[in-house]
């Protein structure tokens, strides 16, 4: 269990903030400002910290980055990519994965929309009021707190724009009496321009320190800017932003010595973690080990498993063993102590997956899972390996930047301690090689589907995915998801549904 007092205090504030804003659950209720009296709030730095904590609450949504609520976790979103599949009804991911998405199905389609918009609302309330604290905050603290609010709003908006495209641009708290339905959807380009403006302000205000306690830092914001740029085909700019930070003496991050330790056991002050959803026992726990390790409601597919390279003849990439349970692996949860075997606690999905594989990443194989909440590891949603690989990708894609440094970034990831895969030669430094490395390094971290969309190959890859023992293949839903039907019922005819729905 963690004993970081700052972390405990911060997430104590998260719980308090969640209570303040718990009533704001409807999409139309974008303004939580009436939940806290302006007459009694915004008087002290403690008030500012409480309101700031609320801007982090929605990361805990399992549609965004949360762990172990209901019957799955945010990483289970990998089932909509070609890497994994699901035997569960969690967030209706299974019909989305096979190609049965609709505007009225609920689940992930509506939950992501609702929870990300609530995140935007909490950020807007904070940003609308932070100037009131100028009289008692130092300039550095004011810029830091505002930078965190801007970072979080950009994160939630970036999620929304990737999945739904054009959106209303809401930068102020909108009173429930003010008709939100009169706000049009702005173009994706307009939204992205605002996000880039906001994230630059966040980068300027956030401290350039190591990430430790759940608060975004400068490196977190730089990573988010690189993601926004690459999601919108701005690869040359992304190469510059990523390269300038990676190759700067002010860079506060590095690859961790232990690949497994990033996900459990060595997360506190881990030099590779750039941003995460933090938990802290004994009171702030989740059920990730149960849902991932015991129920196996999300599991890797054979095509992904077979994609691992050999380190040497007959020896697979070591990350394979650290990411996937295979027959004969040590796993105390089973009756025999080996995987696979009937499980001693729960087998809610009723079977070992038909592939014969299960996810090991994030699951402690020495921990006996129980039906109650027993885990407190953090969900890592930004890490330095991702930034290195994005740098390599941006340089190769754009043809700009320092190719030698970008190749070094790729090989640093492959050559980390405990992995030590053979380096890639310059002649083999291609976009295909970088894409392969992202698939292996970042498996079961929620990146693969977004990568396929960004690379504009999802329609080719998803339709080749075999998702059951019968050889059934998936259909491609489309480049954007539908706006939830309940929202369209309110917003029509001002809004038009996304194409194909």
Q: How many domains does the chain have?
A: 1
Task: Give me the residues of the chain with pLDDT under 70, please.
Answer: 1-39, 69-70, 175-181, 293-295, 341-352, 369-373
Domain that holds residue 20: 1-63+107-206
Q: How many CB atoms lie within 10 A of CB 344?
A: 14
As given in the structure block, the two tokens for residue 496 are 């038009």
89 CB-contact burial (10 Å; exposed 0-12 / middle 13-18 / buried 19+): middle
The number of C-alpha atoms within 13 Å of 474 and in the hemisphere containing its C-beta is 31
- The CATH number assigned to the domain holding 199 equals 1.25.40.390
The partner residues of 298 in beta bridges, in order of sequence, read 86
Per-residue pLDDT at 373 = 60
Among candidate residues 125, 113, 186, the one with its CA nearest the CA of residue 152: 125
| Domain presence at residue 257 | no
| Domain presence at residue 352 | no
| Domain presence at residue 447 | no
| Domain presence at residue 84 | no
The whole-angstrom separation of Cα 485 and Cα 477 is 16
Per-residue pLDDT at 287 = 82
Per-residue pLDDT at 436 = 98
Per-residue pLDDT at 27 = 32
| Domain presence at residue 443 | no
What tens digit of pLDDT does each residue of 68-108 get?
766 788 999 999 999 998 878 889 998 899 998 999 988 99
What tens digit of pLDDT does each residue of 18-44 get?
544 443 333 334 444 444 555 678 999
Which contiguous run of DSSP H or E holds residue 382?
A: strand 379-383
Q: DSSP letters of 210-262?
A: ---SSS--HHHHHHHHHHHHHHTT-HHHHHHHHHHHHTSTT------S-TGGG
The whole-angstrom separation of Cα 316 and Cα 169 is 48
| Domain presence at residue 317 | no
256 and 270 Cβ atoms separated by less than 8 Å:
yes
| Domain presence at residue 73 | no
| Domain presence at residue 254 | no
């Amino acid at each position: 269990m963690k004993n970081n007092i700052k972390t405990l205090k911060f997430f104590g504030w998260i719980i308090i903030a969640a209570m303040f804003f718990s009533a704001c659950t409807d999409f139309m209720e974008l303004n939580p400002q009436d939940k806290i009296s302006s007459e009694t709030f915004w008087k002290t730095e403690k008030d500012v910290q409480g309101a700031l904590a609320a801007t982090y609450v929605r990361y805990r949504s399992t549609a965004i980055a949360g762990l172990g609520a209901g019957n799955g976790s945010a990483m289970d979103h990998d089932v909509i990519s070609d890497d994994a599949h699901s035997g569960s009804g969690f967030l209706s991911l299974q019909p989305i994965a096979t190609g049965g998405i609709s505007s009225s199905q609920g689940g992930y389609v509506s939950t992501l929309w609702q929870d990300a918009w609530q995140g935007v609302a909490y950020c807007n309330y904070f940003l609308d009021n932070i100037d009131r604290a100028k009289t008692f905050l130092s300039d550095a603290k004011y810029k830091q707190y505002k930078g965190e609010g801007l970072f979080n709003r950009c994160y939630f908006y970036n999620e929304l724009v990737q999945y739904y495209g054009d959106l209303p641009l809401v930068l102020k708290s909108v009173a429930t009496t003010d008709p939100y339905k009169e706000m049009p959807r702005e173009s994706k380009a307009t939204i992205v321009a605002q996000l880039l403006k906001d994230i630059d302000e966040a980068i300027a205000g956030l401290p350039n320190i190591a990430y430790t306690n759940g608060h975004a830092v400068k490196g977190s914001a730089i990573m988010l800017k690189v993601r926004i740029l690459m999601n919108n085909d701005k690869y040359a700019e992304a190469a510059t932003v990523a390269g300038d930070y990676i190759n700067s003496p002010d860079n506060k991050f590095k690859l961790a010595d232990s690949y497994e330790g990033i996900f459990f056991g060595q997360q506190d002050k881990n030099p590779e973690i750039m941003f995460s959803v933090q938990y802290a026992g004994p009171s702030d726990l989740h059920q990730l080990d149960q849902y991932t390790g015991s129920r196996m409601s999300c599991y890797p597919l054979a095509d992904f498993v077979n994609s691992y390279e050999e380190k040497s003849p007959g020896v697979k990439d070591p990350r394979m063993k650290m990411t996937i349970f295979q027959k004969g692996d040590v796993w105390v949860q089973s009756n025999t102590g080996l995987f696979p075997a009937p499980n001693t606690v729960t087998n809610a999905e009723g079977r070992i997956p038909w592939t014969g594989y299960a996810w090991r990443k994030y699951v402690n194989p020495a921990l006996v899972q129980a039906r109650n909440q027993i885990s407190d590891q953090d969900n890592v949603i930004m890490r330095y390996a991702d930034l290195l690989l994005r740098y390599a990708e941006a340089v190769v894609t754009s043809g700009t930047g320092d190719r030698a440094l970008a190749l070094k970034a790729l090989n640093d990831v492959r050559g980390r301690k405990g992995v030590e895969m053979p380096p890639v030669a310059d002649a083999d430094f291609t976009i295909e090689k970088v894409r392969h490395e992202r698939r292996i390094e970042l498996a079961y971290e929620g990146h693969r589907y977004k990568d396929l969309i960004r690379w504009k190959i999802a329609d080719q890859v998803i339709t080749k995915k075999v998702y059951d023992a019968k050889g059934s293949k998936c259909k491609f839903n489309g480049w954007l998801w539908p706006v939830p039907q309940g929202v369209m019922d309110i917003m029509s005819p001002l809004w038009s549904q996304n194409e194909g729905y």
